[in-house]
Amino acid sequence: MKKYWGLAVLCGAALAWQGCRKEPLNHLSNAETRIYITQYDTTANFTTYKTFSVADSVALLINGQNVGMELGPGETAFIRAFDSAMTAAGYAQVSKESSPDLAVNLTHISTNYVGVTYFSDYGDYWDPYYWGYGYGYGFPGYFSAYSINEDALAFDMFDLKNAGSNKQLKDVWSALIKGEDIFNTANVPAEVDTLFAQSPYLKM
């Protein structure tokens, strides 16, 4: 039976090779990687609001730290697209000095993951003799750092109309877009449309 071990190994290799699962992330287009989340205050009546104003720039949050405001092409496209979508929903855009009923803040959330990985077999590729060191010397494994950046855009809609009576700014609607290429200006209108499509209550 020992003579069949080679055959078994060959078959095992075939199983391992063919048995690999289909990797879901390899079968997504950039648009399909994105996720759109919305949440609203069920006590809010969106038909009672008439006017809105969107902040003129986007807050930038990096790894949980607020580092200021930004207004690149992507951020500008989001502000314009949001203005258009709100107007199409029946709300009137006004300046922030005109006491809008709804105020909208946009926040760019950037998260950076840094990891370190260890490769133990570098020594196989470099020979200590190259640097003039002979028997007994060897290269250790190497550490390598990697970094993954993940971007998301959050929207928060605050009720200014009832702020005085409630003594608080209530977040009546919030949204989050995550995924690949979300700040590409060509993608922005469709992304904002998706948020409004899944929020049918957001209408006068």
Residues in contact with another protein by the rule CB under 8 A:
1, 3-4, 6-8, 10-12, 14-15, 17-19, 21-25, 27-28, 31-42, 178-180, 194, 197-199
Closer CB to another protein, 103 or 172, in the complex: 172
Q: Minimal distance in Å, beta carbon 21 to another protein?
A: 5
Q: Minimal distance in Å, beta carbon 184 to another protein?
A: 15
Closer CB to another protein, 83 or 181, in the complex: 181
Contact 123, 141 (CB under 8 A): yes
Six-digit token string for 150: 């993940």
Closer CB to another protein, 17 or 130, in the complex: 17
Closer CB to another protein, 37 or 204, in the complex: 37
Q: How far is CA 4 from CA 7, 12, 100, 159, in A?
A: 5, 12, 80, 75
Q: Minimal distance in Å, beta carbon 153 to another protein?
A: 14
Q: Minimal distance in Å, beta carbon 142 to another protein?
A: 29
CA distance 78 to 184: 10
CA distance 169 to 36: 24
Where are the strands (E) in the chain, listed by range? 35-40, 51-54, 58-62, 65-70, 92-93, 102-119, 142-159, 170-178
